[in-house]
Structure 1
Amino acid sequence: MADHSPLVAPGLVDAHIHPDKTSWGDAWMRRRPSVTLDDFVENNILALGEYGASVEERAYALLSQALRNGTLAMRAHVDVGSEVGIANVEGVRAAAERLPDLTVQIVCFPQFGLLTNPGTLDLMAASLDSGADIVGGIDPLGREGDVAGHLDAVFGLSSRTGRDLDIHLHDGGEDGLAQIREIAARTRAAGMEGRVTVSHAFALCDGSLPSLRETLDRVAEARLWMTTCALGPDPVPDLDLIEEHGVQLALGSDGVRDSWSPFGTGSMVDRTHLLGYRTGAITDADLERCYRIASLEGGRMLGIPELSVAVDATSATRLEFDSPSVAQLVVDRPAPTRVIRHGRVV
């Protein structure tokens, strides 16, 4: 430890992660080539029989790693469907209950299709009584081919159960923006401002699209949240443009060493570094913004007051780092020297 006082920083929040898919703590997973979204999903299905450890044990290993590295809350997207039933939700919830210092919101995620996979909507409803907290969705057009039908289903389930909504949207181009505008319109019509998230939202990352600015304004009006993961070749948003339009943005890990990708460390400090690197952060203010997106903004998105406010050395929930500044912390990527929640060292 250096002779300076520890740097105090807010707890980190992983706003988008898939712990049921991870191979963390299990044998090395050999990945199959994938190009399209359908390829990735098909390889995901093939991998189901290749894990050596249970969902609970793999998720527990990854969640423990995240907590050691300063993640105090996360939104976990967990597969629900005919291929897995609701077992993955139950496994991730069981893992989370073993780590009371980590807040885990579970999204029942129709990874394998909803309208295209009969019975999935009923399983999603059942999962909300078995450990899931939030309704999920996936590419109403690109994956399901029925924007109105898919949104009717997920907004309907959200309305009936009083749960928030988080929709994966990989679709790019003007088709992607049109879906985001429709999600924004439905959010406002349902009075769900601030309670709906569009995950990835790759179309919002394409500055060449004519309707991008209009769509960003609609997103801000509906108080939609956007999550990004700065993963591999995936598009990343223009942070200045997002900020200019008042769009709410949080950061996640996405898949960590699963069938989709061999990469990921379970550290949101690492992910914050990647966000800065991918978005061309140069100044201290740029780097500090990346940390804010990975901490305070994530806390606001998940609705956790103690993780959405600035902290100091007396705060009951905080991280301590051996680093002279937040900017250098984002560049150097150290693990925290102490993780403190509710006044207790984790």
Structure 2
Amino acid sequence: MIVRNATLPDGQTGMDILISDGLIQAVGPGIEASGHEEIDAAGRLVSPPFVDCHFHMDATLSLGTPRLNRSGTLLEAIALWGELKPMLTQEAVIERALRYCDMAVAQGIGAIRTHVDVCDDTLTGVEALIEVRARVAPYLTLQLVAFPQDGLYRSPTARQNLLRALDLGVDVVGGIPHFERTMEDGRRSVTELCELGAKLGRMVDLHCDESDDPHSRHVEQLAYETQRLGLSNRVTGSHLTSMHSMDNYYASKLIDLIAESGMNAVCNPLINITLQGRHDTYPRRRGLTRVPELQAAGVPVAFGQDCVMDPWYSLGSGDMLEVAHMGVHAVPMTSLKDIRAAFDAVTVVPAALMGLEGYGVAPGCKADLVVLDAADTVEAVRIKPARLFVLRAGRVVARAAPRTSSLELPGRPASVTFGRGISPA
């Protein structure tokens, strides 16, 4: 296969991409070869696939079961999930997860890191998602996190269930220190989980300080343990929303500690702008972590989808450009440089965070690509365009028509498109 006349995320234009044996063999202008199939990108953006490094697939598409989250708060969502868990069956989790994976592939997602609750002694969700991971492997990479939703210590069997899940083949050590009964229990859980990750050679990804409480400071402990154990970029702190409520002096110290440790950070713009600040009247906090400041310090910051139609979030469509779009508005990060960084936050940054091999648009990389109906990354974030072609190992796995509307206006064109404008340099 050859993809012709592509614009790459780094701004190079008029590039051809030669693919064989599931790999990119060459990238350059005017490649003199013919393929059994050729795609004319016609100057459009061709990117490696989107990567969602923070999701909850065991709960996805369960909205309304057994009831809706009336308050819209994080705590009611967790309580509602507790009501739903006894009703779960492997068949139902698999069916919903596969439906979501179909949606994700159509949206150009190539990899998902999904947290799976281990506070169910039957490990229904764990076993279901291990099955789903195997079934979708030909077209979607799933990385599973053993997540003690009710607290490593707060839930009596969470610790043993987490170890069971890891033995079954779950990839990453997870945790939620701010949901333990005391600040001290949260601190101890961070230490134990990081030591477990170091012992087993696993990555660690903790829901950390997803709170409006400026005194929720478990990320400080996470940065310390990351450095003490030499874990570096194998550790991720997800959410980190308490940082938006911290005083600037402490935050400046904390950001330096995070950067020094080498760990990653994940912001979930759609969910955190929705769940945080619920106890505020006015002024109301936006609830996102300090993305620009972390980036300026050299901390890799990725954006995650987190939830789609579940107890935490009643919206969502699996569109990582919608996530980037919200991040641009809510952080805010509106310079052209920042908007390009938002695109990176749903592609190259989370790919590195997850340790994906062969990711990119260069010779030797896997031929996993998305042809977007946009001129460049800024326009992609702006209009959230159609994914015209989604390729996995050089094979088209999804395709869509360009988004156009017919007009019936005197003296005006017969149709209109929503992109194709070139952003200024």
The alignment's TM-score, normalised by the length of structure 1, stands at 0.90
Counterpart Cα distance in 2 of 1:342 and 1:88: 29
Counterpart Cα distance in 1 of 2:71 and 2:351: 33
2:254 to 215, 240, 243: 215
Distance change >3 Å, CA 207–CA 19, structure 1 → 2: same
Q: What's the counterpart of residue 367 of structure 2?
A: 316
Alignment pair present for 1:171 and 2:222: no
CA contact (8 A) 2:145 2:174 kept: yes
Q: What's the counterpart of residue 341 of structure 1?
A: 392
Alignment pair present for 1:203 and 2:242: yes
1:303 to 323, 341, 355: 355
Deviates more, 1:59-68 or 1:94-103: 94-103
The one-letter code matched in structure 2 to 1:61 is R
Counterpart Cα distance in 1 of 2:43 and 2:136: 29
The one-letter code matched in structure 2 to 1:60 is L
Q: What's the counterpart of residue 134 of structure 2?
A: 97
The one-letter code matched in structure 2 to 1:258 is D
Q: What's the counterpart of residue 226 of structure 2?
A: 187
Structure 1 residue 157, shift from structure 2 partner: 2.5
CA contact (8 A) 1:144 1:150 kept: no
Distance change >3 Å, CA 150–CA 36, structure 1 → 2: farther
SS of 1:72 mapped into structure 2: strand
CA contact (8 A) 2:303 2:346 kept: yes
Q: What's the counterpart of residue 302 of structure 2?
A: 250
Aligned residues: 340
Structure 1 residue 36, shift from structure 2 partner: 5.1
Structure 1 residue 166, shift from structure 2 partner: 0.8
Alignment pair present for 1:48 and 2:85: yes
Q: What's the counterpart of residue 315 of structure 2?
A: 263
Residue by residue, what CA displacement relative to the aligned partner does 1:46-105 show, whole Å, maximum 9, x if unpaired? 133566961111111112211111111111001001x35322011112122221221111
CA contact (8 A) 2:57 2:114 kept: yes
Alignment pair present for 1:144 and 2:184: no
1:6 to 35, 44, 65: 44
Distance change >3 Å, CA 144–CA 195, structure 1 → 2: farther
CA contact (8 A) 1:57 1:95 kept: no
CA contact (8 A) 1:79 1:88 kept: yes
Structure 1 residue 163, shift from structure 2 partner: 1.1
Q: What's the counterpart of residue 112 of structure 1?
A: 150
Structure 1 residue 108, shift from structure 2 partner: 0.6
Counterpart Cα distance in 2 of 1:84 and 1:57: 21
SS of 2:324 mapped into structure 1: helix
Deviates more, 1:10-19 or 1:238-247: 238-247
Counterpart Cα distance in 1 of 2:212 and 2:167: 34
SS of 1:98 mapped into structure 2: helix
CA contact (8 A) 1:9 1:311 kept: no
CA contact (8 A) 2:195 2:229 kept: no
SS of 1:128 mapped into structure 2: helix
The one-letter code matched in structure 2 to 1:171 is S
CA RMSD, aligned part only?
2.5
Q: What's the counterpart of residue 383 of structure 2?
A: 332
Counterpart Cα distance in 2 of 1:62 and 1:297: 23
Alignment pair present for 1:88 and 2:105: no
Unmatched segments (≥5 aa) in structure 1 = none
The alignment's TM-score, normalised by the length of structure 2, stands at 0.74
The one-letter code matched in structure 2 to 1:107 is V
The one-letter code matched in structure 2 to 1:73 is A
The one-letter code matched in structure 2 to 1:279 is V
Residue by residue, what CA displacement relative to the aligned partner does 1:137-176 show, whole Å, maximum 9, x if unpaired? 10x2443311343124312322332211111021344422
Counterpart Cα distance in 1 of 2:350 and 2:374: 22
Distance change >3 Å, CA 282–CA 185, structure 1 → 2: closer
- State, as a whole percentage, how many aligned pairs show the same letter: 26
Counterpart Cα distance in 2 of 1:110 and 1:230: 23
SS of 2:233 mapped into structure 1: coil
Q: What's the counterpart of residue 402 of structure 2?
A: none
The one-letter code matched in structure 2 to 1:14 is D
Deviates more, 1:43-52 or 1:58-67: 43-52
- Bigger RCO (CA 8 Å, 6+ sep): 1
Higher Cα radius of gyration: 2
The one-letter code matched in structure 2 to 1:270 is E
1:279 to 314, 322, 331: 331
Deviates more, 1:290-299 or 1:51-60: 51-60
1:33 to 70, 74, 80: 70
SS of 1:44 mapped into structure 2: helix
Deviates more, 1:54-63 or 1:274-283: 274-283
Deviates more, 1:279-288 or 1:102-111: 279-288
Higher strand fraction (1 or 2):
2
Distance change >3 Å, CA 282–CA 55, structure 1 → 2: same
